[in-house]
Amino acid sequence: MKGRRILVVDDERIVAEDISECLQSMDCQVVATAISGLQAIEMAHAHRPDLIMMDITLQGEMDGIEAAARIRQELGISCVFLTAYSDPAFLNRAKQVQPAGYVVKPFDESGIRAAVEIGLYKVATERALSESQGWFQTTLMSIGDGVIATDERGCIKFINAAAEEILGLTNEQVVSHPLQAVFPIYDEHTNAAVENPVCEALRTGSDIKQASSIVLQRHDGRLVPIEESATLIRDCSGALLGAALVVRDVAVRRKAERELHQYQLHLEELVNQRTEKIRQTNAELQAEAEERCKVQKALQRRVEIEALHAGISASFLDLKHDDFDQGVTAALEKIGRFLKVESVEFCQVSSDGEALNCTHEWCENGVSKIADTLQALPMAALPWLSFQLDQGGGLAIRSIDEVPPEAIMTRQIFEIRGARSALFLALKEGDILRGFTVIFATREQRSWANDDVTLLRMMNGVLQAAVYRMKVEADKEQLQTQLTQSQKMEAVGKLSGGIAHDFNNMLLPIIGYSDMLIGRFAGEGRDLSELEEIRKAAERAASLTRQLLAFSRKQIIKKVPLDLNKAIEDMRNMLSRIIGENIRLETKLNEALGAVNADPSQMEQVLMNLVVNARDAMPDGGAVAISTYNETLTQASAVAQKNPELVGNFVCIKIADTGVGIPAGNLDRIFEPFFTTKGQEGTGLGLSVIYGIVEQHQGGIHVETSPGKGTTFYIYLPASSIPVPQPEDPAQAVRRAQGDDSLRGRGERILLIEDEEGVIKFVSSALRSRGYEIVQAMNYKEALEQFDAGEYDLIFSDAVLPDGNGVDLLDKFMNEKPETRALLSSGYTDKTALMQMVKEREISFLQKPYSLPQLYRTVREVIDDHQSHLLS
């Protein structure tokens, strides 16, 4: 009672005060007093008393019962009514608000005390019950499991929120329905209806815990997997009140379980994947490591190859020509030992592309050399190999079975070598197969690796470069030789030129005076035979000089009607000497041979060069046959087919030898300048000069050759219709010239310029005797003075003067006086430029030594402006 808080409500303040006094004496606390219902409600709200002493009659509209009802409703606080009434109607109303007690007025303290004590007790009990109910209610409503309570017959009394959720029905919808009706359950696997555990529990009288795998079919048709258990509810005496069913929706759990399971599977999958990945990565790493190892090995091999390559390259750098073969063989050995093969052969195709020669070879000890066998193999017999090398550049043969049976020669090479495997690598110059390197494995079969090919290819490069270098050096040496030869010839030419010059100057007076004497003796009827012998000797000397000049190729070309037979006969002695004693010179000259319009000295040169070549082709002796004949070439003839211009009437010189013949590969090159097969002996110019000469004469050359049997040259020159003048007897010629009045001078003034005393004396006296007036000049300077001093009908000058040259001089005079007639004479000149000018200025030219009639005729013709002696 102590400290209980009490609100007193009475419209009688005195009564209220009295009650308060009474309550305070009971150690209760009167929190307030109110005199109206509204005030009571207000106070109750403000103070929350434990109990209210409520008068029924109050001020205002609201009486105590109504106020108590509202307070109870709003705050759950009970009242003890103070009333003077006790009629049933009032009591009935008062009971509705479940009062905590009644005090009937008039009251005394003990009455109040008892009522308050009972009231407070009742309030405390009510509150405890209510709190307990609240607890249970809240607990039931808030637990996650569904709870369904039934009565002892199995009819639903109450379901909590979770059960509402599971069933999809509200408490109101199911209360007092039989549980069976709203809660049909089935076995999840068999779909068989299962007895409700509550019914089972009620039937058997013991609690049931249902196994799992039960599904509930909701009224909306949904199936919900559940777990459930039924517990019987009994009162304190043990009487059965009903049962409680606890239901759990395991869908979420199932789902979670499934998800967990899925997740586990997923994780497992992930782990598997990961493991697989790791395994894969591991394998990759291992493979990469192996690959690296391989690459490293390959690199190592490559470095070794490079080193070998560099070594061999370097060894070739300083190699002299003479050591070349040894160097190549040494290189082959290095290659062979490096590649661990039994033999390495270096084969080259001959320059004509016809034959294959093994030029270098290395064999391991105990393996026999085969280079001597592999010589002059005709390329035509190796069509398969050449094709393979031409196409692929290389050919790796693991077994002889890979060589087709028709490649007989290639198989034969295998057999000769006793090879099991071979690796060929072509050596090419542009697209042309120049040879190959081949390595043979004889002891065992071998598959060729890329490295082998690479190395061999590199070595091929080195060998090719070396071969090329050697060839260049050989060419250089040859060129050097040719240059030397050419210089030698130049020197010989100069020497012979000089000799010819002096010689001709000496011969001129001999011939000239002989002619004069012949003329005089003939007039006196004296014997001319001795004089004629002198003259003939002089002629032969002149001929020799001319041949000498021909040899040094310094002569002036002058085409004249020529009898080739005579030219050949004239040269016969000289040619016989040139060819030596063990070679016969045979001539078969057609007597009806036509004339040609040709330069005699050039013809002599053609003959001489061809005969010299023939001699060189027959080191062991033989015969040279020179024959001449006329031939009419038509377009159908064999010669014309090769030389389409050669159609018409020709005179042919055929020079046949019985020598070694010309190899087919060389045939195309024989007319090339400096092409020679004679080594240091030859200039390589002979045939090229002939070619040039024949071309100048609109002729052609045809060659037939048969290796080992001999060569025949055919020189075709166009036949000329101009007959060759019959050589006149010198005596007659002189007499005729002296008797020919048309050749006499008519007092014409001639400026004669000549440094050679014998010549100037002879020419002066010869011309004066014929009626010309001669002014002499012995040199350039004198000539200028004399030219300025007078008028001349003819300037007759030697080409070579001590202080200048005759061509310049004549040029100068003709520039000063364009009408000047000029005649130039020379025994020899090597100044081709001067000769060019002679041609351009159309200066007449008289070759020393000349005969008396030639002198008379030429002088007369130049003065009379005849052009017959112009240079052709």
Minimum distance of another protein from residue 67's CB (angstroms): 12
Q: How far is the CB of 12 from another protein (least distance, A)?
A: 7
- Of 60 and 378, which has the nearer Cβ to another protein? 60
Minimum distance, C-beta of residue 76 to another protein, in the bound complex (Å): 26
Q: Which is nearer to another protein, 40 or 724 (CB)?
A: 40
Q: Is 40 in the site for another protein (CB under 8 A)?
A: no
**Which range in 57-65, 110-118, 618-626, 690-698 contacts another protein by CB under 8 A?**
57-65
β-pair partners for 790: none
Residue 8's DSSP bridge partners are 33, 53
- The nearer residue to another protein, 63 or 811, going by C-beta atoms, is 63
Q: Tell me how far CA of residue 152 lies from CA of 178, 201, 242, 511, 717, in angstroms.
A: 11, 10, 4, 181, 155
> What is the identity of the amino acid at 700?
G
Nearer to another protein, 32 or 79 (CB): 32
Does 18 interact with another protein (rule: CB under 8 A)?
A: no
Report the residue number, 14 or 833, with the smaller CB distance to another protein. 14
Question: At closest approach, how far in Å is the CB of 64 from another protein?
Answer: 11
* Burial (0-12, 13-18, 19+ Cβ within 10 Å), 180: middle
CB 737 within 8 A of CB 856: yes
The residues in 68-127 that bind another protein, with binding defined as CB under 8 A, are: 85
First to last CA, the chain: 175
User: Is 9 an interacting residue with respect to another protein (CB under 8 A)?
Assistant: no
14 binds another protein (CB under 8 A): yes
* Shortest Å, Cβ 30 to another protein: 13
Neighbouring residues of 540: CB distance < 8 A, sequence distance ≥ 6: none
Considering only 8, 23, 40, 63, the residue that binds another protein (CB under 8 A) is 63
551, 565 contact by CB (below 8 A): no
- Beta strands per DSSP E along 595-724: 595-598, 622-633, 648-657, 700-706, 710-720
Residue 58 C-beta: closest distance to another protein, Å = 8
Q: Which among 9-17, 105-113, 307-315, 664-672 is the span making contact with another protein, rule CB under 8 A?
A: 9-17
Alpha-helix residue ranges (DSSP H) falling in 562-676? 564-579, 600-617, 638-642, 664-667
**Amino acid identity for residue 78 in this structure:** S
Cβ proximity to another protein, 35 vs 382, nearer residue: 35
> Which H or E element spans position 142?
helix 109-142
Nearest to 168 by CA among 217, 95, 228: 217
Distance, C-alpha 661 to centroid of its chain = 47
Minimum distance between the CB of residue 59 and another protein, rounded to whole angstroms? Answer: 6
What is the per-residue DSSP string for 211-237?
Answer: -S-EEEE-TTS-EEEEEEEEEEEE-TT
Task: Verify binding: residue 144, another protein, rule CB under 8 A.
Answer: no
Min CB(160)–another protein separation in Å: 46
Candidates 10-18, 145-153, 453-461, 817-825; binding stretch for another protein (CB under 8 A)? 10-18
Minimum CB separation of residue 44 from another protein in Å reads 18
- Which listed range, 59-67, 235-243, 247-255, 540-548, lies at the site for another protein (CB under 8 A)? 59-67
Helix locations, 221-317, DSSP H: 251-317
- Of 58-66, 453-461, 485-493, 801-809: span binding another protein (CB under 8 A): 58-66
Total residues binding another protein (CB under 8 A): 13
60 interacts with another protein by CB under 8 A? yes
- Least distance between another protein and beta carbon 182 (Å): 52
Residues 6+ positions from 152 with CB-CB distance below 8 Å: 202, 240, 241, 242, 243
Q: Is the Cα torsion angle 864, 866, 869, 872 positive or negative in sign?
A: positive
Binding to another protein (CB under 8 A) within 179-198 occurs at none
Residue bearing tokens 């090159």: 669
Return the residue of 1, 17, 218, 412 that touches another protein, per CB under 8 A: 17
Residue 68: both structure tokens together:
């108590």
Residue nearer to another protein on the CB measure, 12 or 570 = 12
Tokens of 554: 């310094």
Question: Is 539 a binder of another protein (CB under 8 A)?
Answer: no
Considering only CA atoms, which of 342, 337, 345 is closest in space to residue 304? 337
Segment near another protein (CB under 8 A); pick from 55-63, 161-169, 408-416, 531-539: 55-63
CB of 49 to another protein, least distance (A): 19
- Nearest-approach distance from CB 14 to another protein, in angstroms: 7
Output 89 or 192, the one with its CB closest to another protein: 89
Minimum gap (Å) between residue 31 Cβ and another protein: 16
Distance of CA 253 to the CA centre of its chain: 70
**From the CB of 198, what's the least distance to another protein, in Å?**
55
Among 54, 48, 4, CA closest to 34: 54
Pairing of strands 794-798, 700-706: unpaired
Tell me whether residue 61 or residue 220 sits nearer to another protein (CB atom): 61
Cβ proximity to another protein, 90 vs 186, nearer residue: 90
Torsion angle of C-alpha atoms 536, 540, 541, 545, degrees rounded to 10: 150
> Hey, is 410 helix, strand or coil?
helix
* Residue 43 C-beta: closest distance to another protein, Å: 13
Query: What is the per-residue binding string for another protein in 308-327, x denoting contact by CB under 8 A?
Result: --------------------
412 binds another protein (CB under 8 A): no
Cβ pair 486, 683 in contact under 8 A = yes
- Region binding another protein by CB under 8 A among candidate stretches 52-60, 228-236, 408-416, 830-838: 52-60
**Residue found by looking up tokens 């001669």 in the block:** 774
Asked if 16 interacts with another protein (CB under 8 A), we say yes
Find the shortest distance in angstroms from Cβ 138 to another protein.
41
Provide the H-helix boundaries in 366-449. 383-392, 408-417
Which residue's CB is nearer to another protein, number 46 or number 432? 46
Check: CB of residue 442 under 8 Å from CB of residue 419: yes
User: Does 57 participate in binding another protein (rule CB under 8 A)?
Assistant: yes
Alpha-carbon span 134 to 113, nearest angstrom: 31
Identify residue 345 by its one-letter amino acid code.
E
Question: Contact, 438 vs 422, CB < 8 A?
Answer: yes
The DSSP bridge pattern shows strands 822-826 and 794-798 to be parallel
Q: In terms of CB distance, is 61 or 322 closer to another protein?
A: 61
Comparison of 38 and 522: residue with beta carbon closer to another protein = 38
Site pattern 269..308 for another protein (x: CB under 8 A): ----------------------------------------
Cis previous bond, 802, omega within 30: no
Please, what is the minimum distance in Å from the beta carbon of residue 35 to another protein? Answer: 6
Q: Which residue, 6 or 685, is less far from another protein as judged by CB?
A: 6
Per CB under 8 A, the list member of 1, 12, 38, 773 interacting with another protein is 12
11 contributes a contact to another protein by CB under 8 A: yes
Q: Are 22 and 112 in contact (CB under 8 A)?
A: yes
Of 59, 229, 764, 786, the residue at the interface with another protein (CB under 8 A) is: 59
Q: Give min distance, CB of 11 to another protein, in A.
A: 7
Q: What is the dihedral of CA 762, 764, 766, 767, to 10 degrees?
A: 160
3-state DSSP call for residue 449? coil
Given the rule CB under 8 A, which residues bind another protein?
11-14, 16-17, 35, 57, 59-61, 63, 85
